[in-house]
Structure 1
Amino acid sequence: MNSSYNYSEIIIISNPDWLIAILGSQDQNSYLYESNFGIRIANRGETITISGDDESQVLLVKDLILKLVDLLERKISLKKMDIMTAIKMAQNGQLEYLVNIYEEIVGRAADGSAIRVKNFGQLEYVKAVAKHDVVFGIGPAGTGKTFLAVVMAVQALKEGRVKRIILTRPAVEAGENLGFLPGDLKEKVDPYLRPVYDALNTIYGNEHMNRLMERGIIEIAPLAYMRGRTLDDAFVILDEAQNTTIAQMKMFLTRLGFGSKMIINGDQTQIDLPKGVKSGLIDAEMKLRDIQRIRFVTFDEFDVVRHPVVADIIRAYSE
């Protein structure tokens, strides 16, 4: 331990497997704690020593590691992503909710494995959808908005709370100029809905997914095809909502029928509308935020569940 540090805390972990889970093989994870909190970690035997010049950061890392121990006691295996999630939540003042994340099972994949939320932002998102009929998920790519929305839609269908799932998005920027693309409607739209197909495939498997689509239980269509419809007993998801115009957003939202839920996802930093055209997503947030039955959930770079450098890239561009 470097004696020049002003503060230090000690944690005793007697289980060698837990030590490896927290610090990584050959202490590879120590760098993650040290670089994110400006502290120093030393490990000798069963003892982890956390040292630094900022007492609050030393105590925060101690609390973080104890929370990881709590997860291990609950027989939850830790991967590097889990360590990064804990670090991000600690930095964002949300560490107390870490255990809650692993208790929230949203659905199950085709192989039976549990699908859980991965951070506090996703936890808030899932809880919002459970309590509200219309939920907006706003934030950068890589936060899991589309995937979680599809998982929740499938779960609602399996439990009989809805009779069908409708997935839509504006295709080819906002103009939806599908006529210029080759192939039939499905072939025109498919490239723009790849993330949705990937999510459905994870949950159902390709064969079952195709059967449900053939029966009309799962419908995937461009936004233009929603006009004039009333969507009853459906779980409706609008993806890439930042590329809707104000008129398109109003049209979509007023399709909501009895027994239905709507999720509207978008990233306000990736608007592809023509210059001078206001995004329907930004307009909706301004006009609808105070309506009690509608909930807006905002994601940020802390909620990104891709490679850790993606969060840094998003932060750099936003600055």
Structure 2
Amino acid sequence: MIRPPQGSRKDQRKNPRRPDELVVVSGASSGIGAATARALAAMGYHVLAGVRTDGEADAVRADGIEPVTLDITVPEHVEALARRIADDPEGRALRVLVNNAGIEINAPVEVLPLALWREQFEVNLFGHIAVIQKLLPFLRRSRGRIVNISSVGGVAALPVFGAYAGTKFALEAASDSLRREVSAHGVRVVVVQPGGVHTEMAARSGGISLELAAAMSTEHQRLYGDLINATVASNAAFLERALPAAKAGARIARVATTPRPRARYTLGRDAALVVPLSRFLPARLMDTLLTMSHRPRNRKSAPTPAPVRAPSAPL
């Protein structure tokens, strides 16, 4: 259970920071991670915010937010983070680990190079496992919490999102096993499944998809070109009404600190709709629902869609 702040309610309002509690947020340079770090700092926690460059550190540094160099695929960075927690000058306990870092590179299963499949699994799955393995002893001592940021794509995979969704499906399974392994130790494991959220990763993914499409063979262009363009266009249109990162971060902060969390939470209306539907609808019907807006237009009745420069939504 998350411990309440010490002192009277009046003291808490004047100085809400909890000097005995640390929180780690990976992928905290922008988007959901940065918003989550800010929300947790505002609640009084001292946030160790994982970033990869000095520029990102300068951008995220704030009262209650201490940037730490953390590429979760680099063992030395993970080791340094563990030492930072163990050697905390104020002896503060690690209360929450928010595994948020991630990348998104979308292309058809047949087309996406294996190196890019592996890169996504290294960041979106194996990197998180490395951090969990290193920090779990601290969380066991504090009876703390792990919050894994998955995706609606970890439950229902859109066309072209196979590799990204595969990493999230795997993270969901690992989270289930971990939750059942450590619950007796007093450690809670929670999965958050965002739908479309305004983030820099989302802004980049559509352009990356189009760059990969431009490099495809003539045969793959014929087979998948229209599908990729339609998918990028559909997701870009959806992103215009997606959940702001600040709201997503605030919700994750509440999930990270609520005394009795559920095993899973959705973020956004799309996730709240798709996740339960995926449990109950037949696979063929889900196929139809998830591909309706991503179907390319008929070549005979409409011209091939022009390359779209707008971003896709993260799923």
Q: TM-score, normalised by structure 1?
A: 0.24
Q: TM-score, normalised by structure 2?
A: 0.24
Larger Rg: 1
